[in-house]
Amino acid sequence: FCDIDHFKRINDSHGHEAGDRVLKAVARSLAKISDDKCHVARHGGEEFVILLRGQTLDEALRTLDEARRTMAERRLVNRANDIPFGRITFSGGVADVFAHASPREALKAADDALYVAKNQGRNRILTASDECVKTAA
Structure confidence by residue, pLDDT tens digits, 79-94: 888 888 889 999 999 9
Q: What is the pLDDT of residue 75?
A: 86
pLDDT band at residue 137 under the 50/70/90 scheme: low
Q: What's the mean pLDDT in 71-86?
A: 88
Q: What's the mean pLDDT in 60-65?
A: 94
Q: What's the mean pLDDT in 41-68?
A: 93
Cα dihedral 58, 42, 108, 87 sign: positive
pLDDT band at residue 6 under the 50/70/90 scheme: very high
Would you say the pTM of this structure is higher than 0.95?
Answer: no
Res. 102: pLDDT tops 90:
yes
Q: What's the mean pLDDT in 36-61?
A: 92
Whole-number mean pLDDT of the chain?
A: 91
User: Does the domain spanning 2-136 belong to CATH 3.30.70.270?
Assistant: yes
Res. 72: pLDDT tops 70:
yes
Q: What is the pLDDT of residue 77?
A: 87
The catalytic residues are: 46
Residue boundaries of the structural domains of the chain: 2-136
